[in-house]
Structure 1
């Protein structure tokens, strides 16, 4: 069988692999029932849905002809590196620097991954995300997330 779209073929395989891995990993948890789902219920269902989506994309890659074969381009290493770095920085910064510093840091470093970085947009996004997270997680859900750096205190 001829691959008619390389991008769809490889992305379909990736979706199937990740979806089945999550579904398989969810089998280690209790499923519960539909009325009272356990911790494995939701990830198992999402994993199967992701694998099904991957199968549909893979089927499309093998049946629908595209102009030029839709080749896979080069890896975008810069954005990938910045996003991985952002997650690592945020994981360290939240307990040490608090939400007020960690979230803007997250947004600014993640924005550097793109080709069009603008300080004004990044800072506005950071302010909106920080205020919204404070309202939702600290005021609304009463989660114990540090708001300020640990050296300042509460």
Structure 2
């Protein structure tokens, strides 16, 4: 059988690999059952669903004819680097790096840092739009995680809150 869409084929394989990894990782927790779900139930179901979705996408890439075979292009190194860097920066700003003396900056600063660095991954950068997006994300995250879910983690840098 011939691959008729390379993009779909490889994205389906990626979904299947991630789904299997999630399902396998979930087996280290108590699974439970539908009525009494354990901590591993949701990741297991998510992994199974993701694997099934990937299998469908792979099947479709082998059956559905495309115009040019949709070849996989070159790696987009700039966006890849900025997105990975943005996530690393978020983690460092949120929790700090005590081993080298970097203090935790809290949720709000971490979200602004994440948004600005991730926005650099695109073709065009409009700082006004990024400020608006970061503000909306910061307010939404504060409301969701601190107010509604009542999670206990640092919101502002220590030098502000004391």
Which TM bucket (shorter chain)? over 0.9
CA–CA separation in structure 1 for the residues paired with 2:114 and 2:133: 11
**Whole-angstrom CA distance in 2 between matches of 1:100 and 1:69:** 44
Residue equivalent to 1:147 = 155
Q: What's the CA shift for 1:153?
A: 3.0
Q: SS where residue 97 of structure 1 aligns?
A: coil
Give the CA deviation at 1:35.
1.3
Question: Structure 1: which 4+ aligned runs deviate by more than 6 Å?
Answer: none
Could you say which residue in structure 1 is the equivalent of 2:107? Answer: 99
- 1:63: which partner in 2? 63
- The DSSP-based 3-state class of the residue aligned with 1:117 is coil
CA separation in 1, counterparts of 2:11 and 2:138?
33
Deviation at 1:97, TM superposition (A): 0.8
* Runs of 5+ unmatched residues, structure 1: none
Quick one: distance in 2 between partners of 1:136 and 1:5? 40
Structure 2, unaligned stretches of length 5 or more?
Answer: 96-103
Aligned length, in residue pairs:
154
For residues 41-60 of structure 1, the aligned pairs below 5 Å read 41-60=41-60
